[in-house]
């Protein structure tokens, strides 16, 4: 292995090295600074004349007398079952003061694509205990369902609540949480860690922390490290792994930084044209594989810059993930937790995960009716703002009330309130009973007779 | 000057782009890069260097590695065994890749597109001494129960048959020999970027029947036509594409999952073998070719996938079949072009897309059409492309350039999707330029008043949109009675006719007769309403009349006709009109 002292240029996170032996694309690089400290990087561009290295731990202090060593290997993560309960840095080194991880295996962090032919369609209902998710936008095992949030909204609380409460009912199967933080603040990290420790969840978790003051470029590694660990636990140890990635917006900023440093042609808002492909190589690592017991479910969190859902980051994410949970500043301002706006939210995989034998037989039609009624109520609010409530018909007023109650009783719940699916559906039925029965056009007669409070009372 | 060979060396690697040195290369030659033999394609020549886009991950490739030029353009293999297959973007069968490298796709794996061992029972229709030209039918094999796979003379070959055989053959066996010694086999290769030749294009005047009410009745596409479905995420593009792939009345369906979700492809893979083709009663898979290049698979293969798909479609067209091709999504394809163009450091056009975006899109859609094939049969390729505009903004370059070419525009609407109105196709924005040419066919084959009914429904919907603006301001109570009635009729058109449940066993597919019956009965209800109004009924009584709910649900019944009749009878009684 040869060492070079031929750095000719340092530009932002990039280091240019000349006159090397042939170096492989994607190779892992270590740079030794004059003071003896080392940095790691990866080959981004290689040719007979120049090699471009992106340095993950920042280029501060690197000068032309630094030594560059090409390892001939690509970036790998030491993985082991003992990772559970450990806290690692954004590039995979233990930072909890504990011993080094004795690797069972050293895995490439760039995961190969799952062959679509080897996948199994996700259809196992995960009960999160949150009505707005379980009832309206059901999560299933192997899904990737992001939270689209804004700055200042309680997305971390929701993610923690999901991590705490998520379970597949009637099964005592082993689960684990892999948590990857990218560019979040110490305070936020502290909140997560405290909650993990208090609830004992840390024992079943692997935590990767890249904090706001850690090098931005390291963020490009963190989610891949986390998913490599998740794949190992899921496919070698049959665990059901929930991966929480927060905050993907910081990841995308790092991607833009590298792209700008390389002087690439920018796409929308300066983000590189390959951001879709790049994000896909992260999100598509969720899923189930035929014949393997373990699964990977992803819940990435991103903050929409300016609450704009058409911003490239939420936009490209939405095109890859199987739905999205959208948080609303308006609901948050009303004091409603979790402030989930169900109208733009969606779970693409729920149709197979709900209904008889999975949640309950009436769930599908109940869901349609709840959506339609709430959408109508919200629409009417716009009208009320113009003509006043008095001008509405009796029917319209009921819908208006439905929308208010929907937010207050159905969406709103405690941070530690774990509602089972029957409770969620039951609250929904109570709300639906505020409407005239003839309005329940999306629900078949037999379910109305079975679950509508008016009939249940009669039966009792 | 240096003598160039078909073997050269890597000079530079930057992501999926590899620059070769000392390589004899033509544009679009396929090369093998490195010891693993990664597949790539020449996309540019600069001085003595060749730019190669590689279809696989290039990690570990270094300067000096060997590159071999196969001297062949990127081609697909065409022959029996295509149907029921699932390929990646460069026609490698995914099941074979799974056998070779497990659940994750490894690198440098080569797998033949067609099964080498399967024997096909070949029955010739030409005999010794016959003169054959390119595209002529030599004979056929029964590929699936309903598709007879015609064995064609490759389009660039002609001559006099000196030998012809009959019996069981594999795709590599010779089935005929021409007098000049050319051996013909059950399969042949064709470069994907070159359209397969035909005699002439014919006017598209037969509708593609999809069983989806809003598509067939309001915005029909012709066999051999082109359509685009743009929409923001979550508006139902993929579900609509799946519905088209399931129910379109074509002989063969090619479905391209281009840069989309892995789980969605899995859904197709699990579902299609289970679903029945409404016309033949056989599993849908038997007429389907799937191409899956999910978003995390290499970007260059994504760029190739639409060409792979359309070439296979053209091949079945040349046998005289109607073929439809669903590309989900063409935006991912355009982005793949942009990504590669960026790596080539080309001067970007709008939003970073290459300047040739418009011409590439046009070239692709122009490969659709109803044609007289080289052998005189008539076949068609219908192209339906999904477009995923960033932020749902239709003014972006891919949507705009697509709209300049395609004749049918099915605009998906996030607002409709949010209220669970599916298919969320906006009836005011969408259009079909075939509507007039196809009206004749519908009037002749379904009902003489088809186009009249269509016009009536469109007028009511348009009128509703105008009235809604007023209702937004003053509420519906302020409208005159007849207009309030119109709003109710429009609601029926929307909820009963336009809304269609893809996951409901009966409603998922609606034949033309039923489409007509439903729309006609809504018109009947409309007439009853207005007669009741004239006879002095209050508008509230009419709108809330018992029987309407039943009427609305009639479409879910197997015996929808009597359900409709009963409901209308009830409405008549309750309104007291005939």
Mean pLDDT lowest among A295-299, A451-455, B22-26, B232-236? B232-236
Q: Cβ(B98)–Cβ(A112) under 8 Å?
A: no
Q: What percent of chain B has pLDDT over 70?
A: 99
* Residue of A110, A115, A343 lying closest to B94 (CB–CB): A115
Helix, strand, coil percent values for chain A (each to nearest 5): 40, 25, 35
B299 neighbourhood in chain A, CB within 8 Å: 274, 277
Across A111-115, A453-457, B307-311, which has the greatest mean pLDDT?
A: B307-311
User: What would the mean pLDDT of A67-75 be, rounded to a whole number?
Assistant: 90
Question: Is the pLDDT higher at A47 or at A201?
Answer: A47
B357 to A232, B336, B338, B362, B398: CA distances (angstroms): 41, 11, 8, 9, 8
- What number is the ipTM of this complex? 0.86
pLDDT tens column, B144-185: 988 999 999 999 999 999 999 999 999 999 999 999 999 999
- So what's the pLDDT on residue A1? 64
Q: Under an 8 A CB cutoff, do A25 and B61 touch?
A: yes
| Interface probe with B: pick from A110, A144, A277, most Cβ of B within 10 Å | A277
pLDDT tens column, B205-216: 999 999 999 999
- So what's the pLDDT on residue A180? 94
Q: Is the pLDDT of residue A31 over 90?
A: yes
User: What would the mean pLDDT of B399-404 be, rounded to a whole number?
Assistant: 95
User: What would the mean pLDDT of A371-390 be, rounded to a whole number?
Assistant: 88
Directed axis angle between helix B299-318 and helix B357-366, to 10°? 30
Q: Under an 8 A CB cutoff, do B62 and A22 touch?
A: yes
A391 neighbourhood in chain B, CB within 8 Å: 475, 477
Across A10-24, B179-193, B412-426, which has the greatest mean pLDDT?
A: B179-193
State the DSSP code for A323: E
Residue with tokens 């906006």: B426
Q: Is the pLDDT of residue B260 over 80?
A: yes
- So what's the pLDDT on residue B5? 74
* Residue of A46, A120, A272 lying closest to B62 (CB–CB): A46
With cut-offs at 50, 70 and 90, classify the pLDDT of residue B435. very high
- So what's the pLDDT on residue B565? 95
Asked if B505 has any chain A CB less than 8 Å from its own CB, the reply is no
Point out which residues pair with A242 in neighbouring strands: A177, A297
User: What would the mean pLDDT of B22-44 be, rounded to a whole number?
Assistant: 91
B320 to B148, B227, B254: CA distances (angstroms): 11, 22, 16
Asked if B332 has any chain A CB less than 8 Å from its own CB, the reply is yes
Pairs of CB atoms within 8 A across A/B? 209
B514 min Cα distance to partner chain A (Å): 21
User: What would the mean pLDDT of B554-577 be, rounded to a whole number?
Assistant: 92
Question: Is the pLDDT higher at B383 or at B544?
Answer: B383
Exposed (0-12), middle (13-18) or buried (19+): which is B156, by Cβ within 10 Å? Answer: exposed
- So what's the pLDDT on residue B279? 76
With cut-offs at 50, 70 and 90, classify the pLDDT of residue B4. low
Q: Cβ(B253)–Cβ(B287) under 8 Å?
A: yes
Helices (H), B319-385: 330-343, 357-366
B469 neighbourhood in chain A, CB within 8 Å: none
With cut-offs at 50, 70 and 90, classify the pLDDT of residue B79. very high
**A149: how many CB neighbours lie within 10 A of its CB?**
28
A445 to A365, A440, B20, B70: CA distances (angstroms): 11, 9, 70, 66
Residue B164 has phi, psi (to 5 degrees) of: -145, 135
Q: Which two tokens stand for residue A102?
A: 């004795």
With cut-offs at 50, 70 and 90, classify the pLDDT of residue B1. very low
A117 neighbourhood in chain B, CB within 8 Å: 86, 94-95, 97-98, 269, 292
Q: Which two tokens stand for residue A19?
A: 């006159």
The bridge status of strand B7-14 relative to strand A38-47 is antiparallel
CA dihedral A338, A344, A348, A354 (to 10 degrees): 50
Q: Under an 8 A CB cutoff, do A25 and B388 touch?
A: no
pLDDT tens column, A402-413: 999 999 999 999
Half-sphere exposure of B118 (CA within 13 A, CB side): 17
- So what's the pLDDT on residue B264? 86
Q: Under an 8 A CB cutoff, do A119 and B262 touch?
A: yes
pLDDT tens column, B97-152: 999 999 999 888 888 999 999 999 999 999 999 999 999 999 999 999 889 999 99
A109 neighbourhood in chain B, CB within 8 Å: none
B575 min Cα distance to partner chain A (Å): 18
pTM assigned to the model:
0.90
* Residue of B297, B332, B418 lying closest to A113 (CB–CB): B297
Helix (H) or strand (E) holding A343: strand A340-347
- So what's the pLDDT on residue A459? 65
| Interface probe with B: pick from A112, A116, A269, most Cβ of B within 10 Å | A116
Q: Under an 8 A CB cutoff, do A113 and B294 touch?
A: yes
pLDDT tens column, A214-236: 888 889 999 999 999 999 999 99
What is the distance between the alpha carbons of residues B201 and B245, in angstroms, rounded to a whole number? 24
A365 min Cα distance to partner chain B (Å): 11
- So what's the pLDDT on residue A460? 62
Residues 534-573 of B with CB under 8 A from A: 544, 549, 552-553
Q: Is the pLDDT of residue B265 over 60?
A: yes
What is the distance between the alpha carbons of residues A269 and A284, in angstroms, rounded to a whole number? 24
B458 min Cα distance to partner chain A (Å): 24
Is the bond leading into B329 cis (omega within 30 degrees of zero)? yes
Half-sphere exposure of B334 (CA within 13 A, CB side): 34
Mean pLDDT lowest among A175-184, A262-271, A288-297? A262-271
Asked if B266 has any chain A CB less than 8 Å from its own CB, the reply is yes
Q: Under an 8 A CB cutoff, do B393 and A391 touch?
A: no
In whole numbers, what is the pLDDT of chain A averaged over residues?
91
Asked if B65 has any chain A CB less than 8 Å from its own CB, the reply is yes
- So what's the pLDDT on residue A416? 93
* Residue of A24, A343, A348 lying closest to B61 (CB–CB): A24
Q: Is the pLDDT of residue B2 over 60?
A: no
What is the distance between the alpha carbons of residues A224 and B59, in angstroms, rounded to a whole number? 15
Q: Nearest residue on chain B to A369, judged by CA atoms? A: B420
Asked if B56 has any chain A CB less than 8 Å from its own CB, the reply is no
Q: Is the pLDDT of residue A241 over 50?
A: yes
- The two counts, helices (H) then strands (E), for chain A are 14, 21
């Amino acid at each position: 292995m040869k060492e070079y002292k031929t750095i000719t240029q340092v530009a932002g996170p990039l280091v240019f090295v000349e006159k090397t032996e042939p170096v492989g694309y994607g190779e892992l690089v270590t740079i030794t600074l004059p003071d003896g400290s080392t940095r790691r990087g990866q080959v981004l561009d290689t040719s007979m004349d120049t090699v471009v290295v992106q340095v993950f731990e920042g280029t501060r202090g690197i000068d032309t007398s630094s030594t560059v060593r090409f390892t001939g290997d690509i970036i790998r993560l030491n993985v082991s079952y003992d990772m559970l309960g450990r806290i690692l840095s954004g590039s995979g080194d233990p930072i909890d003061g504990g011993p080094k991880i004795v690797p069972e295996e050293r895995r490439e962090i760039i995961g190969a694509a799952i062959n679509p032919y080897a996948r199994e369609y996700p259809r196992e209902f995960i009960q999160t205990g949150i009505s707005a998710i379980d009832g309206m936008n059901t999560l299933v095992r192997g899904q990737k369902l992001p939270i689209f949030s804004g700055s200042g909204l309680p997305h971390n609380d929701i993610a923690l609540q999901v991590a705490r409460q998520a379970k597949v009912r009637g099964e005592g199967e082993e689960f684990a949480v892999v948590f990857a933080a990218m560019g979040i603040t110490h305070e936020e990290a502290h909140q997560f860690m405290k909650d993990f420790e208090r609830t004992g969840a840390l024992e079943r978790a692997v935590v990767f922390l890249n904090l706001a003051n850690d090098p931005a470029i390291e963020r490009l590694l963190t989610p891949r490290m986390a998913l490599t660990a998740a794949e190992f636990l899921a496919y070698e140890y049959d665990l059901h792994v929930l991966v929480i990635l927060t905050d993907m917006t910081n990841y995308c900023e790092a991607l833009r930084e590298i792209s700008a440093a390389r002087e690439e042609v920018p796409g929308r808002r300066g983000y590189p044209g390959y951001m879709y492909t790049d994000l896909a190589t992260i999100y598509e690592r969720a899923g189930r594989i035929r014949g393997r017991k373990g699964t990977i479910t992803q819940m990435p969190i991103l903050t929409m810059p300016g609450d704009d859902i058409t911003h490239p980051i939420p936009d490209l994410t939405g095109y890859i993930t199987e739905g999205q949970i959208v948080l609303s500043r308006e609901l948050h301002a009303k004091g409603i937790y979790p402030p989930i706006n169900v109208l733009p939210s969606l779970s693409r995989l729920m149709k197979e995960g709900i209904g008889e034998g999975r949640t309950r037989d009436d769930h599908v039609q109940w869901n349609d009716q709840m959506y339609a009624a709430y959408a109508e109520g919200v629409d009417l609010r716009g009208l009320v703002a113009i003509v006043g409530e008095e001008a509405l018909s009796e029917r319209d007023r009921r819908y208006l009330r439905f929308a208010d109650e929907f937010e207050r009783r159905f969406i709103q719940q405690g941070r530690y309130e774990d509602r089972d699916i029957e409770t969620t559906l039951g609250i929904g039925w109570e709300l639906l009973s505020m409407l005239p029965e003839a309005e329940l056009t999306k629900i078949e007669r037999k379910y109305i007779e079975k679950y509508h409070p008016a009939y249940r009372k009669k039966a009792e | 000057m240096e003598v160039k060979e078909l073997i050269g060396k890597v000079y530079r690697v930057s992501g999926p782009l590899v620059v070769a040195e000392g390589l004899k290369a033509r544009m679009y030659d396929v090369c093998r890069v490195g010891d693993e033999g990664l597949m790539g394609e020449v996309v540019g020549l600069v001085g003595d260097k060749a730019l190669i886009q590689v279809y696989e991950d290039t990690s570990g490739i270094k300067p000096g590695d060997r590159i071999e030029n196969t001297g062949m353009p990127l081609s697909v293999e065409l022959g029996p065994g295509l149907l029921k297959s699932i390929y990646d973007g460069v026609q490698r069968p995914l099941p074979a890749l799974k056998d070779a490298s497990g659940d994750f796709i490894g690198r440098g794996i080569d797998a033949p597109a067609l099964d080498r061992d399967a024997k096909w029972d070949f029955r010739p229709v030409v005999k010794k001494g016959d003169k054959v030209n390119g595209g002529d039918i030599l004979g056929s094999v029964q590929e699936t129960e309903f598709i007879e796979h015609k064995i064609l003379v490759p389009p660039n070959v002609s001559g006099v048959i000196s030998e012809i055989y009959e019996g069981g053959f594999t795709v590599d066996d010779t089935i005929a020999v021409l007098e000049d010694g050319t051996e013909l086999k059950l399969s042949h290769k064709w470069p994907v970027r070159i359209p397969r030749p035909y005699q002439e294009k014919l006017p598209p005047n037969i509708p593609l029947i999809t069983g989806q009410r809003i598509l067939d009745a309001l915005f029909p596409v012709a066999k051999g036509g082109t359509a685009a479905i743009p929409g923001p995420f979550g508006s139902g593009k993929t579900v609509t594409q799946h519905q088209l792939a399931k129910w379109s009345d074509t002989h063969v369906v090619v479905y391209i999952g281009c840069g989309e979700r892995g789980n969605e492809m899995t859904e197709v893979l699990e579902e299609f073998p289970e679903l029945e083709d409404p016309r033949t009663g056989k599993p849908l898979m038997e007429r389907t070719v799937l191409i899956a290049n999910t978003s995390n698979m290499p970007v260059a293969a994504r760029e190739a996938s639409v060409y792979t798909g359309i070439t296979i479609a053209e091949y079945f067209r040349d046998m005289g079949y109607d073929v439809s091709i669903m590309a989900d999504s063409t935006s991912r394809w355009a982005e793949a072009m942009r990504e590669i163009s960026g790596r080539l450091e080309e001067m970007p056009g709008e939003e970073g897309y290459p300047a040739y975006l418009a011409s590439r899109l046009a070239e692709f859609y122009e490969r659709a059409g109803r044609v007289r094939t080289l052998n005189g049969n008539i076949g068609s390729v219908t192209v339906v492309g999904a477009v995923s505009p960033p932020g749902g903004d239709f003014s972006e370059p891919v949507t705009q350039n697509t709209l300049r070419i395609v004749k049918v525009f099915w605009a998906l609407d996030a607002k409709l999707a949010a209220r669970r109105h599916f298919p969320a196709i906006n009836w005011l924005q969408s259009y079909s330029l075939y509507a007039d040419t196809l009206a004749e066919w519908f009037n002749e084959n379904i009902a003489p008043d088809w186009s009249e009914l269509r016009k009536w429904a469109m007028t009511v919907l348009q009128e509703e949109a105008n009235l809604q603006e007023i209702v937004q301001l003053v509420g519906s109570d302020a409208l005159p009675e007849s207009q309030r009635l119109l709003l109710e009729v429009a609601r029926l058109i929307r909820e009963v006719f336009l809304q269609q449940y893809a996951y409901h066993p009966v409603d998922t597919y609606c034949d033309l007769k039923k489409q007509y019956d439903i729309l006609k009965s809504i018109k009947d209800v409309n007439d009853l309403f207005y007669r009741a109004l004239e006879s002095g009924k209050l508008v509230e009584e009419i709108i809330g009349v018992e029987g309407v709910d039943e009427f609305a649900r009639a479409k879910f019944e197997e015996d929808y006709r009597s359900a409709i009749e009963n409901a209308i009878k009830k409405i008549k009684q309750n309104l007291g009109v005939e």
